[in-house]
Amino acid sequence: MKLNFNGLIAAGFSPFKVDGTPDLDKIPPLVDKLIKEGINGFYLMGSTGEGVSVKLEQRLAITEAYFKAVNKRVPIIVNVTHSSYGASADLSRHAVQMGADALSATAPSYYGISGIDQLIYAVEKITDCQDQIPFIYYHIPGKTGLNFKMHTFLEQLDKRIPQLGGIKYTASSMDDFMLCKENYGDRYKMFFGVDELFLPALAMEADTFIGSTYNFMLPYYKNILKYYGTDNHKVALENYRNVVEIINAFLRYDGLASQKAILKMNGFDFGQPISPILPLTDNEYNYLKQNLESLHYFDHVK
């Protein structure tokens, strides 16, 4: 299935109250800000959205809140990852009913997948509940442990998964990404998902990106896209260096906890991450804020 996505897609964060229930009223203000700033879409309930950490009904409620807030202004991709194929099917049907533009998921990985054939079969099982919208396989070996080369995965597919429209490529193997794009880019859309490798991916002719930091660093990425390959190419490099420095600053701590902290610093308090992820301590929060101030981050995004 052909996909028409392009540009910068924000991986949506999930807001929680102190008791762990979704704080749905926090979603519309951030959505409105991002759309006003030029975001090109949303990717919901993935790693950033903590989809695998919440109860099914909470996952549905957060998804519905995003759909209501977006109100068809930009496309939405819904992650339906679950350890149960039946639960993934329920999530898929709900997303289709809500009007999702595409679905996405990793393969169930608790029991382990040892070969490409097993991975293909798993994706078949996830996708066989619907044939109305495209499916995007979520390649994130850092979380799943599935380190297969995606160009090999695509090579062996043949026509087994007609719903497959592309891959969300969240890995640092740029050679593999390049081969996927060069050999199969006419059939499958390659979404790049490692924010700190944004400029190298752009050099590999990536044109569609899904990232968590677009929620609070969008002006940097817009400038990279604006000036890359122009006479002012140095401006793109300067903005990319800023991106790398900021990401390095918050990756001294847990990536999700620190990014939720940065959202709070920007006036969007999405609460604490779900356990087992721990929030930043007060000292860590203050130290991170000082580091961001030293990088002139707040001046740039405001």
Active-site residues, by number, are: 138, 168
What letter would DSSP give residue 46?
A: S
Of the CA atoms within 13 Å of residue 114, those in its CB half-sphere come to: 1
Spatial neighbors of 98 by CB under 8 A, at least 6 apart, are: 63, 64, 67, 78
Question: How far apart, in Å, do the first and last CA atoms of the chain sit?
Answer: 39
Whether the CB-CB separation of 193 and 169 falls below 8 Å is answered with yes
Distances in whole angstroms, Cα of residue 223 to Cα of each of 49, 79, 150, 186: 26, 28, 30, 28
Dihedral of CA atoms 206, 190, 73, 235 in degrees, nearest 10, equals -20
Residue type at 289 in one-letter notation: K
